[in-house]
Chains A and B, each alone.
Chain A
Amino acid sequence: MNNFEDDVWLYTISSKRKLIDFNFKEIWRYRDLLILFVKRDVVTVYKQTILGPLWYLIQPLFTALTFTLIFNKVANIETGTVPPFLFNLAGISVWNYFKNCLQATSDTFRSNAGIFSKVYFPRLISPLSVVISNLIKFGIQLLVFIGFYIYYYFKGATVSVNTSLIFFPVLIILMGLLGLGLGMIISSMVTKYRDLKYLLNFGVQLLMYTSAVMYPLALVRDKLPRFAWLVEYNPMAYVIEAARYMLLSTGNISVNGIVFTCFVTLTVLFLGLIIFNKTEKSFIDTV
């Protein structure tokens, strides 16, 4: 009788944790919540501002402009036949997506502590919604990029897309997952040790400089061969270089690099899921 009873429990909440215990079925059941969170994030960010969603565009445009002035006009970094502004805009749009994913997901537990301490839903919904809502922002920024692309094209600049562009979505998903994985690891640790929050802020900035955002990968190999490994072991550098190759046919795609990036992403994502899962059960006691 007792044995029979044990089988019909819908679920059990036990203090004993399995190391790998992903409940994707439950996440699927909460898909409506995921959609609503994405909608909330996108709709509410710039409410009661005059420029509204235009703010999504202003930030990358001005950053690209600044980079062009400093790195290309002052520091004379060569971008080949591609207009430097377009070169920078491509790098920054792609980098921003990664950066936003990482920063927002790494704040998951702290910023949602209010909700998390009162009601249960699969915690993974929160970082997932961040990655998706940022994807929408990225989409908007990409439209602007396309606008400038057409502008430069008609001005006679030698820009051309590449057939490998069909893999562009894969590249973006890869990057989103990398940001998600890293963010989940950091968010789990931040709940207890706030030191990481400060580390992250300038860590992201340092990472940008080693991610080939404002210079071609080949340039580092050429000019700073002793430190090129810093960039070569950075999975983001390959993503950005590949994205520029697809969009602007500049630089080159390193198959080894992309395989390396895939490997790092999957490892980080898996680790992130494990750590996140372990943390979500009791973080409310330490946050």
Chain B
Amino acid sequence: MNDIILKVEHISKQYRLGLVGMGTLQDDLKRWWYQVRGKPNPFLKVGDLNDRSLKGNSNYVWALKDISFEVREGEVLGIIGKNGAGKSTLLKILSRVTSATSGGIKTRGRIASLLEVGTGFHSELTGRENIYLNGAILGMTKAEIQSKEAEIIAFSGCQRYIDTPVKRYSSGMTVRLAFAVAAFLEPDILVIDEVLAVGDAEFQKKAIGKMQDISRGEGRTVLFVSHNMASVKTLCSRAIVLDHGEKVFEGGTDEAVSFYLKGGDELLNYRDFGDSINNKVFQLHHIGIKNNTREIYDAIVEDEEIELKTSISFKATNPKDYHITYHLFNEMGEPMFSFSNTAEPLRHGDNVIGCYFPKSFLQSGQYFLSFFFVKDRRKAIFIEKDIMSFVVTDGKRDIGVYMGKEPGYIRPQFKWVRLDD
């Protein structure tokens, strides 16, 4: 068993909501006055859990609450959670960009963080100059960069442009160059945010490959945050799941991913949004998914038609210009397909519309839906990722047939016609 290289102990982070103004000055003075008298900070006692959909009682929220975990040398730890679960805040604290409100971190090695590629790139400087600047910002010394300069340039594939100012680069080239610098960082612990979601497919493959080399081949300790379950599953050996600033699960990657996808024990197939998704154009009331013939709390089976019911009020005057679009993702977080209500447009006022997946279309497994509200068929004016997840269970199968899972995620019932009659 390797040694523990990083120890996170009871990290909490409190944020103040609202604007900075007279109120902050008042709070600052109060905090200072408590400190002068040797009393603890009065605002540490208050604060709500960080759930953006609920209305809180306090101006203070806990973005992270009492997070502890340990990382062993050479381990690749995934950190997963929904938007606003506190992943980025945790990374920021780990990379020392900001400090925790309470708790501490102990480390046995140098931490370098990659919360963004190309931090500090200056558009007037040439590619080569930026390699040095960016490398130094990330914590490399000049000598280190010098020894890797040729490799970095080769990896970026920007040889031809290397002495041209970066402002003449295409955005893809800038990202390649930036990632190339980061890929040759050699800290003891590397902290990575979702930087892989950049560049074209070829480069992504290269980047993931390099990440794998870093973690497997070179035995580097990596902390990796991502929304992409496939890359978490590929890269990480262990994962923690954050939810509303609290650590809700820690364990093997597969278990963690399915825990995250399940989203706890709530009723999965139906969500009432109350007043939380309400704007000038529309209000989303609820979404439910079930088999056509069954009740909402029944498990969904694969061999019956599935109904996705959306209840939404349209408030603007031009319902024809707007569409609901859903994106369906599989349990690895990979997109499967998208679908829109183009066949059944919205009306002004209340709408309850259903969408039907034919029977046996979706195979058993876990799925997620992302909700988009699209204007003029091209501009998403509202996006809610992972708005709902649901599980499709195996249907009844005849005794004697194959009981395992067929390959793939969908099993459409295509038309088969005899042509020799």
Contact = CB atoms under 8 A, between A and B. Distances in A.
Interface stretch (A30-38, A80-88, A225-233): A30-38
Contacts of B297: none
A281 B132 CA distance: 26
A13 interface: yes
A40 B353 CA distance: 58
A120 B95 contact: yes
Contacts of A36: 132-133, 136, 142
Contacts of B125: 40, 43-44
A120 B113 contact: yes
A9 B108 contact: yes
The number of chain A residues touching the other chain, given as a range, is 35 or more
B83 interface: no
A201 interface: no
A28 to B, nearest CB: 11
A119 B124 contact: no
Contact of B104 (A15, A30, A35): A15
A121 B134 CA distance: 12
Given A32-B141, A120-B113, A282-B99, A12 B136 contact: no
Contact of A44 (B119, B122, B132): B122
Contacts of B104: 12-16
Interface string B115-159: 110011010110001001100111111100000000000000000
Interface stretch (A90-98, A110-118, A171-179, A216-224): A110-118
B107 A121 contact: no
A279 B172 CA distance: 36
A16 B93 CA distance: 14
Interface residues of B, number: 44
A40 B140 CA distance: 17
Given A33-B136, A115-B137, A282-B99, A12 B122 contact: no
B110 A48 contact: no
B343 interface: no
A119 B25 contact: no
Interface in B359-404: none
Interface string B50-78: 00000000000000000000000000000
Given A32-B142, A118-B119, A285-B15, A15 B99 contact: yes
Nearest to B10: A15
Given A115-B119, A118-B119, A284 B105 contact: no
B92 interface: yes
Contacts of A33: 136-137
B97 A120 contact: yes
B20 A15 contact: no
A121 B142 CA distance: 15
- Which of A17, A35, A285 gathers the greatest number of chain B CB atoms within 10 Å? A285
Contacts of A9: 7, 106-108
B231 interface: no
Interface in A117-176: 117-121
Contacts of B103: 15
Given A11-B107, A115-B137, A281 B98 contact: yes
Interface in A19-47: 29-30, 32-33, 35-37, 40, 43-44, 47
A34 to B, nearest CB: 9
The 9 lowest CB-CB distance pairs between A and B, nearest first, are A120-B96, A33-B136, A14-B104, A281-B99, A32-B142, A13-B105, A44-B124, A47-B124, A118-B119
Interface of A: 6, 8-17, 29-30, 32-33, 35-37, 40, 43-44, 47-48, 114-121, 192-193, 281-282, 284-286
17 contacts: A6-B106, A9-B106, A10-B107, A10-B108, A11-B107, A12-B107, A13-B93, A13-B100, A36-B132, A40-B125, A44-B122, A48-B124, A117-B115, A192-B28, A284-B92, A285-B15, A286-B20
Given A115-B137, A284-B97, 5 more contacts: A13-B100, A14-B104, A15-B103, A48-B124, A281-B99
